[in-house]
Amino acid sequence: MGFTEGVSEGGSCRWSERLRIIMVLIAFVQVQSQGGSWKLLSENVGIASMHTAVTHYGSVIMLDRTNIGPSNITLPHGRCRNNPKDLVLPRDCYAHSVEFFPKSGRVRPLYIWSDTWCSSGQFGADGTLVHTGGDYDGIRRIRRFVPCPESNGTCDWKEDKKPQLYAERWYASNQLLPDGTFIVVGGRSEFTVEFVPPRPGNATYLPLLEQVDDYQGDNMYPFVHLLPDGNLFIFANRDSIVYDYRKNVTRRRFPRIPGTPRCYPSAGSSVLLPLRASDGFRQVEILVCGGAQLGAWAYPEELLDAAQDCGRLLVSDPDADWVMETMPIRRAMGDMVLLPNQHVTIINGASRGSQGWGFAEDPVLYPVDYDPRSPPGSRFAVMSPTVVPRMYHSTANLLPDGGVLVAGSNTHHFYTFNETYNTELRVEQFRPEYMSSELDFLRPAIVDFPKAVGYGESFSVAVVLPSAPHHDIELVLLSSPFTTHSFSQGQRMISLAVEPPLLVDASSGLYHVTCTSPPTGEIAPAAYYMLFALNYEVPGEAVWVQIVP
């Protein structure tokens, strides 16, 4: 924990260290009391994004659905989608997907052919967004988006004509696997898994999905997390298993989580807590928060109170059971976002009702910060509120600057702007307290780094630190997930093994930090990751590093 010395001659270096420590503590206390802030990124991106993903160029891909008539943005150059199967506009000249550039505020319409309503997706090893399923003519489709720089501006969606999915995938979840392929899990009335690219044979039956199928269908959008041993943690409704997808075997079944249903349409959320090199990636924990009461979707007029608890499961414990905690606010339809300081932001949603058109009331405007490393009873903190309700079909995604992009919300079948909760076209950024300018004197900047690294590879990152005390610098990797319906598919965070920083140039504050990349694809599947440097848990802006096999 050595500090850089601020006094080279005369006076007392020890006093300088103490003074700087006091400065750090004062800054943290001031910023913590503020609880973060909000910034409007765009007044109108043209669509209500129910599916959102951040590319390795920093742009944001947003998707709504076709079959709903006009959006608020047209396709360029007179282009139209001529689809006789469209339920509203067989000739549709409106965009239902856009690319948004947070730094410039620019919006670029994209062309999507088939219906993407309640679909799933994930980025592959080369940065391509692979997108599966949907509804109507899109229910078996596989689509791809290969990102390009903003200056290029020609990339667009491509849809595979063949092969297509074996099963109808509406409300399914995807997970990138260590071999670079994808597994697609479940869907409405679909109790199977399959792979992309499709493998020989049919979709494979997964008993869990049928066993937990209640009268509301609370097994949709199951929570799927890749474990460090290569198996999958799959959670549906209130039950969870370790699934060996290679042999189609359930390796382990966990106790049922107490309380309400947690998956769609009851809409809790889940994250795999950060994996850390410091313990050899052996400690594996799942966090599940919120949800709606059983019956809230089937009987929406009752507007039942949402859940106010989180369950934490230490999967790596042979005797694992759920440890329950109480959130400050009831919440269904919340999104959970892993932050570079290893906290979790719980954001969006409502305190009564469930997912569905007009099925919820009392939007939760306050994000909640969850610190998994704090003692029980002191992990939650309520943050500054937004003024924009974000309920059904809203999303939240981490941006490379460390902020959380918040988009979407449409509680209506069509685009509606004359109701209490209108279709939401605004895009905001929630800025956690570590983004405060009061902490800029601690903020590290990565100025040189490798663009690609292999597994178990030692590599060096050049970091400039302000003229301030520094802790041993942390380096963390964060994936870019596909976010929809309160679950971020493929979200994971890896805390790297880092050696003490080596001072290279005192005048500029330049350090070289040597670290080791993740050892296997089970820890971090090959893909693009945001690499953050942190000083006293204050992150700088991330750079994109590709992990290659």
pLDDT in tens, the chain (549 residues): 333 333 333 344 444 444 454 455 554 544 454 599 999 999 999 999 999 999 999 999 999 999 999 999 999 999 999 999 899 999 999 999 999 999 999 999 999 999 999 999 999 999 999 999 999 999 999 999 999 999 998 999 999 988 999 999 999 999 999 999 999 999 999 999 999 999 988 899 999 999 999 999 999 999 999 999 999 999 999 999 999 999 999 999 999 999 999 999 999 999 999 999 999 999 999 999 999 999 999 999 999 999 999 999 999 999 999 999 999 999 999 999 999 999 999 999 999 999 999 999 999 999 999 999 999 999 999 999 999 999 999 999 999 999 999 999 999 999 999 999 999 999 999 999 999 999 999 999 999 999 999 999 999 999 999 876 677 899 999 999 999 999 999 999 999 999 999 999 998 999 999 999 999 999 999 999 999 999 999 999 999 999 999
Assess if residue 487 is contained within a domain.
no
Assess if residue 100 is contained within a domain.
yes
Contacts by residues 71-74 (CB-CB < 8 Å, ≥ 24 positions apart):
71/46, 71/47, 71/95, 71/96, 71/415, 72/44, 72/46, 72/47, 72/415, 72/425, 73/45, 73/46, 73/47, 73/98, 73/107, 73/109, 74/109
Assess if residue 13 is contained within a domain.
no
Please answer whether residues 349 and 333 qualify as being in contact, where contact means their C-beta atoms are separated by less than 8 angstroms: yes
Residue 202 has, within 13 A of its CA and on its CB side, a CA count of 8
Residues 305 and 271: their CA atoms lie apart, in Å, by 23
Return the pLDDT at 5.
31
Residues 449 and 446: their CA atoms lie apart, in Å, by 7
Residues in CB range of 378: below 8 A, 6 or more apart: 371
Q: Which of 485, 489, 487, 460 is nearest to 475 (CA)?
A: 460
Assess if residue 496 is contained within a domain.
no
Assess if residue 9 is contained within a domain.
no
Return the pLDDT at 19.
46
What residue has token string 């971020």?
A: 488
Say how many domains are in the chain.
Answer: 1
Return the pLDDT at 20.
53
Q: What does R_g of the chain's alpha carbons equal in angstroms?
A: 23
Return the pLDDT at 437.
95
Residue 436 CA, chain-centre distance (Å), reads 22
Assess if residue 292 is contained within a domain.
yes
What residue has token string 């329950």?
A: 324
Assess if residue 334 is contained within a domain.
yes
In angstroms, the Cα distances linking 408 to 34, 83, 126, 267, 437 are 26, 25, 27, 16, 28
Return the pLDDT at 472.
80
Q: Which of 545, 504, 547 is nearest to 522 (CA)?
A: 547
The parent domain of residue 430 ranges over 37-435
Residues in CB range of 331: below 8 A, 6 or more apart: 289, 290, 306, 307, 308, 346, 349, 350, 351, 364, 368
Assess if residue 129 is contained within a domain.
yes
Task: State the CATH number of the domain containing residue 181.
Answer: 2.130.10.80
